[in-house]
Amino acid sequence: MSQRVRHAARFALATLIAVYLTGGLWELLDIYVLKNLPDGESPWGTFLFNEQVWRTIAIIESAVVFLLKLGDVSTAPPSWLYAWMSGMWVAVSTVAIGIAVEQRQWVVAVVIAVAAIAVWYLTRNRIPGRPGTEEFDITTLSSRESR
């Protein structure tokens, strides 16, 4: 497997798992804690239907992330911490946008999307393990300090 594919796959896997789990947890909270159920539907039936929706969203988003990351300038695989933070950011943003869309608050959904993109680009350099930057690699820092 080429380094470029490993790079893209690490981001895609983290996104797949993070979006699926976050969406599933949101559905459990929405159904069992907030009691948002369609009339006449069981909580478990509602969860199973919505779980399929979140599974589909997770698969589509991870495929998009994989294809986008194949074209990255830096092909070094990110640290798992960086990949997971990226995936969780996509997951939380997706759930927040999904809630806004479900409530037909289109402007709020757009604001959340724009804010999520802006905040990620402003803060991503602070997460260790970003591909293409050695200064954030913990092992590189410790080896430089020992010299």
Which helix (DSSP H) or strand (DSSP E) does residue 144 occupy? helix 138-145
Cβ–Cβ < 8 Å for 115, 67: no
> DSSP class of residue 71?
T
Instruction: Give percent above pLDDT 70 in the chain.
Output: 89
Say whether pLDDT at 121 is over 70: yes
pTM of the model: 0.82
Report the 10 Å Cβ neighbour count for 75: 16
Mean pLDDT of 96-118: 95
Average pLDDT, the chain: 87
Cβ–Cβ < 8 Å for 31, 47: yes
